[in-house]
Amino acid sequence: MAQSPLPRWFTKPLLGAVAAVLLLLGGALPAAAEFALPPLPYAAEALEPVIDATTMTIHHDRHHGAYVANLNAQIAANPKLATLSLEALQGQIAGFPVAVRNNGGGHWNHSQFWAAMAPVGQGGAPSAELLAAIEANFGSLEAMQKQFNQAAAGRFGSGWAWLIEKPNGSLAITSTANQDNPLMNLPEIERGTPLLGLDVWEHAYYLKYQNRRPDYIAAWWELVNWDEVNRRFAA
């Protein structure tokens, strides 16, 4: 029997140490395919007085953070998740369990939500192209906002209101329940590219507005980041 050049009392602990280091690295470093919580693009207090800092912190860190963690927890049972971008996942959501629909939708919806807001006075204005499309489809910007507000206020329970660009190029207002969105390939969804989406879950506004959802919706227009909406419309 060949003798190891190193005594067993040395090689066994050495291999054990190497294995322990690899395990530590593997546990500490997230897999490349995991979904990540994007930081807020502004300070938590930047949207005051329309949305208070406490609501923003809890909403982003805990609610959105939980959607990301719960989505990542689904990767082991649904390995195809690791091969899809967050946006591509929305269009294939019908092929996944409801936990992926809820948490994958929650992650996408909130990611677009933070990006579509800016501090009061810093959101710019609709581009000439977007304004022309809004006027062609709704008559005026105010008429579009009125229809959007009705969809947001009328969503029973929790969900979202959306301004979308439909596959035929027209603009429309729609609303989705829970964490669904207009990108999802589900029969009950009016599909289109979201240009603007508003979270009307109570966690988005209850600390400041309590049951006055219409007041939250009306004030939220002051935060709309039109530069981002213009970018989405042009894309």
The site for Mn ion (CB under 5 A) is made up of 199, 201, 204
Comparison of 90 and 137: residue with beta carbon closer to Mn ion? 90
Comparison of 180 and 199: residue with beta carbon closer to Mn ion? 199
- Find the shortest distance in angstroms from Cβ 84 to Mn ion: 22
Residue nearest to Mn ion (CB): 199
- Find the shortest distance in angstroms from Cβ 194 to Mn ion: 15
- Find the shortest distance in angstroms from Cβ 109 to Mn ion: 7
- Find the shortest distance in angstroms from Cβ 204 to Mn ion: 5
Comparison of 162 and 233: residue with beta carbon closer to Mn ion? 162
Q: Return d(Cα 102, Cα 85) in angstroms, integer.
A: 16
Close Cβ partners of 155 (under 8 Å, ≥ 6 residues apart): 161, 175, 177, 200
CB of 64 within 8 A of CB of 37? yes
Comparison of 152 and 204: residue with beta carbon closer to Mn ion? 204
Comparison of 171 and 184: residue with beta carbon closer to Mn ion? 184
H/E segment holding residue 162 = strand 159-165
Written as six digits, the tokens of 197 are 């989406």
- Find the shortest distance in angstroms from Cβ 42 to Mn ion: 17
- Find the shortest distance in angstroms from Cβ 107 to Mn ion: 11
| Full DSSP string of 174-229 | EEEETT--TTS--TTS---EEEEEEE-SGGGTHHHHTT-HHHHHHHHGGGB-HHHH
- Find the shortest distance in angstroms from Cβ 95 to Mn ion: 25
Comparison of 134 and 200: residue with beta carbon closer to Mn ion? 200
**227 phi and psi, to 5 degrees?**
-60, -40
% helix / strand / coil in the chain, to the nearest 5? 55, 10, 35
Radius of gyration of the chain (CA): 23
3-state secondary structure of 159: strand
Is the Cα torsion angle 192, 103, 219, 153 positive or negative in sign?
positive
Comparison of 66 and 82: residue with beta carbon closer to Mn ion? 66
